[in-house]
Structure 1
Amino acid sequence: MDDAAVLKRRGYIMGINLGEGSYAKVKSAYSERLKFNVAVKIIDRRKAPTDFLEKFLPREIEILAMLNHRSIVKTYEIFETSDGKVYIIMELGVQGDLLEFIKTRGALHEDDARKKFHQLSSAVKYCHDLDVVHRDLKCENLLLDKDFNIKLSDFGFSKRCLRDDGGRIMLSKTFCGSAAYAAPEVLQGIPYQPKVYDIWSLGVILYIMVCGSMPYDDSNIKKMLRIQKEHRVNFPRSKHLTGECKDLIYRMLQPDVSRRLHIDEILSHCWVQQVKPKTQPSASTTKEGESSRGTQDTLKVPESNVEKKSATKVEEKEEPKQDANTEKEESVQVTRQSEILGFNADQPATESEQGKLSPPTETVHT
């Protein structure tokens, strides 16, 4: 029985193709019970790799079934057929994803970005409070409903955090996600704190929202890591961002994991709350237009061991020493995205007619 017939028997009239991969595809469908359109993710077990079937798919199904938040895509139904196909019926992002929205319309005004970022941060806090981490936060996974509200989607790399006997969250060693959104510790193959990884990705997303371009160029991972570990963040001067907005981004894109913001600190930040701070926390600007946080020490981190083999994926190198608080997992390919929106690293971004990307003229660093 083909997909259309299977869905028809369950009360869904299959529509257009929304996306397709090697072992999964997403279709639109009309639900006769719900009386509106939905998205249907169809996974073919016969074509899927073993690690996906044994680890990632069970996790995704378990987590989707437990999530219930207004800024997370709703899951209406999950069922499987005898021929090994899994059907996940989900809320449809009728306005597409945030990446396409920004590519079409350009950078968001800070007020619009604040609203959308607050919705996203609230969804991440909800997950983190449940000890669930997403690990693939990126603009493509942020869908927009009919009113352009954020709906967090694609929990394919998500997991429940494990805790040791002392109640501490164990470090993770599954290196997954997209390189442009991945934290330095993940790119280096260092066992990482999964919730802290999500925060870095939030910083990249907010930067893209307000700048309309990528903060780092991931075509050269080693070079990108050096810039990240120096805590350099380039802001296009033409965007006229407020100091509070730049401060929040800068604190999320913190290479020192012990100093990176937590989700509660993000939600209480003066920019998110739209409250003027009593004391200005944002970076001060010099005459040359280069900003620096003089109150912070320069962060010195050893050079990365990432080789120049490929700019398109990060592989786990020689396995780090395992300790009691580290969960052992294999590496997962990380994809390159620097050419999607352009970047603000060492060379100017290109310009498009609809969404202009400005060259980096203002730098924040430690």
Structure 2
Amino acid sequence: MPPVHRAGTGAESKDPEYAGQYRLEARLGAGGMGVVHLARSASGRRLAVKVVHAEYAEDPEFRARFRQEVAAARRVSGAFTAPVVDADPEGSRPWMATLYIPGPTIAEHVKRSGPLPPDETVQLAAGLAEALRDIHRVGVVHRDLKPSNVLLAADGPKVIDFGISRPSDSELRTETGQLIGTPPFMAPEQFQRPRAVGPAADVFALGSLLVHASTGRGPFESESPYIVAYQVVHDEADLAGVPDELLPLIQRCLAKNPEDRPTPDALMTVLRAVRGPHPPAPRGPVPLVPQQRTPEPHSLPGGRGEQAGGVTDTHVKAGSEPAPRLIEGMKAEPERVGDEAESVLGGSVGGG
């Protein structure tokens, strides 16, 4: 299936022809807050360009969050992300361009081909531990690590979508009572103390992501995001089917207390022993070919908002009450695009 081109009526006819100097060739995907387009640089390099919907361009808070997303993505090394090539958060239609990275997300790969075998799950864990070390050492907390935000590229996993990430020196804060993320991959403190979320929340999310990658389901599952949130805060994770070599590590990642979770550096030390002295080279799935099928909109830090772990990505609103009352007060508002859901908050452009 070829990319969807701009010509036509309705929403597509409103797409701009250019973002800065980049001609937008085709749509890769659309979300509630923006559209991701395929484009090429002057040298012919393929790019994924996220363009914000016109109505959100008029919102000062959204612009501030989009500006923060661009800044966070630029801080992180391109070795573990889709590097930012250019951006204009101050334009009439804010936009950001990153390199286009072929390859499915973990969510897509598991849905299409089933769980990863144990050796590939260990390799994935090692790559993501390195990625989190890289993200955290520049003072950024991702806060939305999940299967649809990790690309399985040929040279190792790439973490994408910094839409709700937060640099440690940011003065921008979430509105009172607002809490955003994907419940099966959120840490307990994200439900209880959203203003105090630190790097350990990403480690918890890594544990949940590895369960999904190795078993095809999450450690906390329900059709209701409220129940999932309660399970994350109170219940023990379901780790049936997790590879034995990763079980102790994942158990530590999923500790309820952030202080009990390992750092990325500690994870790398453990995984080095698990993999042995000569680990295999990264081996990603066969890259997707844009000319043969629609390129995936996950090549940007604003990837697909897929269903993951049995619960859709959800915009949840909650206070900072103790956990039992917190669940009662939560309000879930899934935003859907076709058959997919996205998580949305202010400056986050989930799903594109």
Q: Tell whether the structures are fold-level matches, with TM greater than 0.5.
A: yes
Q: Which residue does 2:305 correspond to in 1?
A: none
Check whether the contact 1:248–1:266 (CA below 8 A) recurs between aligned residues: yes
C-alpha separation between the residues in 2 aligned to 1:52 and 1:272? 46
Q: 1:263–1:127: structure 2 CA closer, same or farther, 3 Å change rule? A: same
CA RMSD of aligned residues (A): 3.6
C-alpha separation between the residues in 2 aligned to 1:334 and 1:248? 33
C-alpha separation between the residues in 1 aligned to 2:256 and 2:24? 46
* Aligned pairs, number: 280
Q: Which residue does 2:319 correspond to in 1?
A: 317
C-alpha separation between the residues in 2 aligned to 1:334 and 1:189? 20
SS in 1 for 2:49: strand
Q: Which residue does 1:5 correspond to in 2?
A: 17
C-alpha separation between the residues in 2 aligned to 1:71 and 1:216? 27
Question: CA shift at 1:120, angstroms?
Answer: 1.8
C-alpha separation between the residues in 2 aligned to 1:48 and 1:97? 28
SS in 2 for 1:114: helix
Equivalent residue in structure 1 for 2:76, among 67, 78, 83: 67
Question: CA shift at 1:121, angstroms?
Answer: 1.7
Equivalent residue in structure 1 for 2:181, among 160, 177, 181: 177
C-alpha distance after superposition, 1:9-48 (max 9, x if no partner): 72x4433322212331101123332x23211111135335
| Counterpart check, 1:47 vs 2:48 | no
C-alpha distance after superposition, 1:63-105 (max 9, x if no partner): 22332231111111113685x1122111113123221011111
- The one-letter code matched in structure 1 to 2:319 is K
| Identity %, equivalent residues | 21
Q: Which has the higher contact order (CA 8 A, sep 6+)?
A: 2
C-alpha distance after superposition, 1:213-235 (max 9, x if no partner): 12111434554455445552323
C-alpha separation between the residues in 2 aligned to 1:131 and 1:272? 28
C-alpha separation between the residues in 1 aligned to 2:152 and 2:240? 26
| Counterpart check, 1:219 vs 2:193 | no
Question: CA shift at 1:312, angstroms?
Answer: 5.2
Q: 1:32–1:227: structure 2 CA closer, same or farther, 3 Å change rule? A: same
C-alpha separation between the residues in 1 aligned to 2:204 and 2:333? 15
Q: Which residue does 1:144 correspond to in 2?
A: 152
- The one-letter code matched in structure 1 to 2:121 is A
The unaligned stretches of length 5 or more in structure 2 are: 1-12, 171-175, 278-312, 323-329, 341-352
Q: 1:333–1:121: structure 2 CA closer, same or farther, 3 Å change rule? A: farther
Normalization by structure 2: what TM-score? Answer: 0.68
C-alpha separation between the residues in 2 aligned to 1:95 and 1:85? 28
C-alpha separation between the residues in 1 aligned to 2:224 and 2:233? 14
C-alpha separation between the residues in 2 aligned to 1:49 and 1:98? 34
Q: Which residue does 2:116 correspond to in 1?
A: 108
Equivalent residue in structure 1 for 2:164, among 151, 154, 157: 157
Equivalent residue in structure 1 for 2:140, among 111, 132, 153: 132
Aligned counterparts, 1:1-366, within 5 A: 3=15, 5-7=17-19, 10=21, 12-33=22-43, 35-44=44-53, 46-48=55-57, 50=59, 52-79=61-88, 84-145=92-153, 147=154, 149-162=156-169, 175-189=179-193, 191-221=195-225, 223-225=227-229, 227-229=231-233, 232-237=236-241, 241-242=243-244, 244-270=245-271, 273-275=274-276, 313-317=315-319
The unaligned stretches of length 5 or more in structure 1 are: 164-171, 277-310, 321-330, 341-366
SS in 1 for 2:210: helix
Question: CA shift at 1:148, angstroms?
Answer: 6.1
SS in 1 for 2:85: strand
Question: CA shift at 1:175, angstroms?
Answer: 2.5
SS in 1 for 2:94: strand
Check whether the contact 1:208–1:214 (CA below 8 A) recurs between aligned residues: yes
Normalization by structure 1: what TM-score? Answer: 0.66
Greater Cα radius of gyration, structure 1 or 2: 1
Q: 1:24–1:227: structure 2 CA closer, same or farther, 3 Å change rule? A: closer
C-alpha separation between the residues in 1 aligned to 2:239 and 2:35? 37
Q: 1:217–1:161: structure 2 CA closer, same or farther, 3 Å change rule? A: same
